Amino acid sequence: MIRPRTAFNLLELVVVLAIAGVLLGLLVPAVQRVRAAAYNSQCQNNLHQLGLAFHAHHAQFGFFPTGGWEWYTPPAYGSNGAPLVGAQQPAGWGFQILSFVEANNVAKAGAVTAIATPTPVFFCPARRSPQTVVYPDEYTPALTGGPLTHALCDYAASNLDGTGVVMQYYPVTIADITDGTSTTLLLAEKWLDLSLLGQPQPGDNEGYTAGWDHDTLRSVMDTPMLDSRGIWDSSEFAEHFGSSHPAKLNAVLADGSVRSIAYGVNVQVFQLLGNKSDGASFNLDDL
């Protein structure tokens, strides 16, 4: 009588485990590539939405959002409770476009609520989910005098150098972009130290409402960088654009188009991209 087999022998088990290991080794990188592609697509969509918000702001008010006044100047409101606009608004571009990214209720809820409320479109999923940090009130004038929650942001405007579409104090119009909106940088991802996420770090503490600050603006004088971990002095790199994507960061140009920019982009080309009116030309393929 032949007895039915009820289990693998040792050799068969080793073979099965080896095959499973090979399949797992093939599957994990494939899953990681799919996840990275999905994150990149969502990040590009975020920037597309932010670009549309800038243009909706221009259509309604006749100019783009400004970079605000200073890092310590909170959002301001008129006598009717509506947020001030243009040169009268001390808070930065992130606050100024809230009404155009389906966050009008946040914009009208008052400075403390606006500063504390994260908006998903401001975060790249390759780096993190919507995030906040808490530390003592440093605004002038003070809002509470106690601890304040600050909603953060993964995108920054061009540029801290004073040559871009987003300027300190005074708004820019489309007519001011004499180099053409299709070759001028509007917003891009910003570099961060990943080991400090969730705690205040240079360029990631005041949050998305910040007036003229590394949180919401970066420089085009240096090439973008891949996010790092454990930088001994992250303030040294807080002016850089950058991201958690492996090869390129995402950006939206002043015409609303979204492009990827290589970390190794020629710094002179990057400077020309950031300058709205230098009169010089370059090839977008060099990005």
- Contact at 8 Å (CB) between 244 and 227? yes
Q: What is the pLDDT along the chain (287 residues), one digit of tens a residue?
A: 555 555 556 666 666 666 767 666 765 565 566 687 899 999 999 999 999 999 999 999 999 999 999 999 999 999 999 999 999 999 999 999 999 999 999 999 999 999 999 999 999 999 999 999 999 999 999 999 999 999 999 999 999 999 999 999 999 999 999 999 999 999 999 999 999 999 999 999 999 999 999 999 999 999 999 999 987 666 778 999 999 999 999 999 999 999 999 999 999 999 999 999 999 999 999 99
Q: What is the pLDDT of residues 89-107, one digit of tens each?
A: 999 999 999 999 999 999 9
Average predicted confidence (pLDDT) for the chain: 92
For residue 286, report the phi and psi dihedrals to the nearest 5 degrees. -80, -5
Residue 187 forms beta bridges with which residues? 157, 252
- Contact at 8 Å (CB) between 115 and 75? yes
- Tokens 């940088």: give the residue: 185
Residue 28 has which token pair?
Answer: 């994990």
Whether the link from the prior residue into 141 is cis, omega within 30° of 0, is: yes
Whether the link from the prior residue into 159 is cis, omega within 30° of 0, is: yes
